[in-house]
């Protein structure tokens, strides 16, 4: 492994770890977030040595310390790939909601797999299985939530990794950020929102744009899902609407016991 040039961030020596990006079943939108950030891309690249990143470079090395893995597992060959990445990486990061919870891909698990295959692919033979998040296959060291991930948060987390400091996630719900941003509550406008139970960190991205939260970052600490259901029902939303929203990204899948008929 080559020695990386010495760098410093706010006076703290930065080790500049070797990082690689991988994608399993995904739309690759999370990786795109990294490239989208032109204003701070060079700063980001000064913190890490990117050795594999299909969206941004050709070739690549299999000598890396940190693996960012985007996407969920939906095929057998992905299981083997993921296990190999795990063997190589010192730190494996589940990158985005697909990797953390199954993401939108896991919606398929609500239906009979044969029916899904027929509806989507017709008679074209396609290998696809039940969707699983990364931690169903390998140990995950770190999670970066969001669909897509928020680039500012990724940069913050990578900075923490590079300087060896602890990473903390917001424990509170999106509503806190939404209120701080001075938004009118969407419930007052007759629209549903999962902000009361969803982990903050996106700066209330959707409500800022007058769209209700769909819970892409998963549950906040100590959230009260029954209270949310009560709020939604009092605002006239059906059980089907409530479940549709809570099941969208897979983050709440362990909290729906008793809500499904």
Q: Which residues bind ligand SF4 (CB under 6 A)?
A: 26-27, 29-30, 70-71, 96-98, 103-104, 146-148, 174-175, 178-179, 183, 185-187, 193, 195-196, 198, 202, 204-207, 213-217
Least Å distance, CB 185 to ligand SF4, is 3
Q: Helices in the chain by DSSP H: which ranges?
A: 29-36, 38-47, 76-88, 97-101, 113-121, 151-163, 174-180, 205-208, 225-234, 239-246
Least Å distance, CB 243 to ligand SF4, is 16
Nearer to ligand SF4, 14 or 213 (CB): 213
Residue with CB nearest ligand SF4?
195
Cross-strand bridge partners of residue 22: 69
For residue 198, give the DSSP letter: B
Nearer to ligand SF4, 161 or 175 (CB): 175
Least Å distance, CB 255 to ligand SF4, is 16
Nearer to ligand SF4, 156 or 179 (CB): 179
Q: How far, CA to CA in Å, does 220 sit from each of 52, 71, 125, 238?
A: 32, 22, 40, 23
Nearer to ligand SF4, 185 or 259 (CB): 185
Give the Cα separation of 23 and 144 in Å (integer).
14
Report the chain's C-alpha Rg in angstroms. Answer: 20
Angle between helix 239-246 and helix 225-234 axes, rounded to 10 deg: 140
Nearer to ligand SF4, 23 or 49 (CB): 23
Nearer to ligand SF4, 14 or 72 (CB): 72
Pick the closest to residue 23 from 88, 91, 76, 85 (CA basis): 85
Least Å distance, CB 103 to ligand SF4, is 4
Least Å distance, CB 181 to ligand SF4, is 8
Least Å distance, CB 192 to ligand SF4, is 9
Phi and psi torsions of 49, nearest 5°: -105, 105
């Amino acid at each position: 492994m080559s020695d990386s040039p010495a760098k410093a961030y706010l006076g703290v020596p930065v080790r500049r770890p070797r990082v690689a990006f991988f994608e399993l079943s995904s739309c690759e939108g999370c990786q795109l977030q990294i490239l989208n950030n032109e204003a701070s891309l060079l700063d980001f690249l000064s913190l890490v040595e990117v050795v594999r990143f299909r969206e941004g470079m050709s070739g690549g090395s299999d000598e890396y310390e940190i693996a960012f893995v985007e996407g969920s597992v939906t095929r057998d060959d992905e299981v083997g790939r993921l296990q190999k990445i795990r063997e190589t990486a010192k730190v494996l990061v589940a990158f985005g909601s697909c990797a953390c919870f199954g993401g939108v891909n896991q919606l398929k698990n609500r239906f009979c797999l044969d029916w899904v295959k027929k509806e989507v692919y017709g008679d074209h033979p396609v290998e696809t299985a039940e969707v699983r998040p990364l931690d169903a296959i390998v140990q995950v060291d770190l999670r970066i939530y969001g669909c897509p991930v928020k680039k500012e948060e990724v940069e913050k987390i990578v900075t923490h990794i590079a300087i060896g400091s602890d990473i903390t996630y917001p424990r509170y719900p999106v509503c806190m950020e939404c209120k701080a941003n001075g938004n009118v509550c969407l419930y007052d406008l007759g629209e549903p929102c999962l902000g009361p139970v969803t982990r903050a960190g996106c700066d209330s991205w959707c409500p800022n744009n007058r769209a209700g939260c769909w819970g892409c970052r998963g549950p906040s600490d100590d959230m009260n899902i029954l209270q949310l259901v009560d709020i939604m029902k009092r605002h006239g939303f059906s059980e089907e609407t409530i479940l549709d929203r809570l099941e969208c990204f897979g983050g709440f899948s362990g909290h729906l016991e008793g809500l499904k008929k």
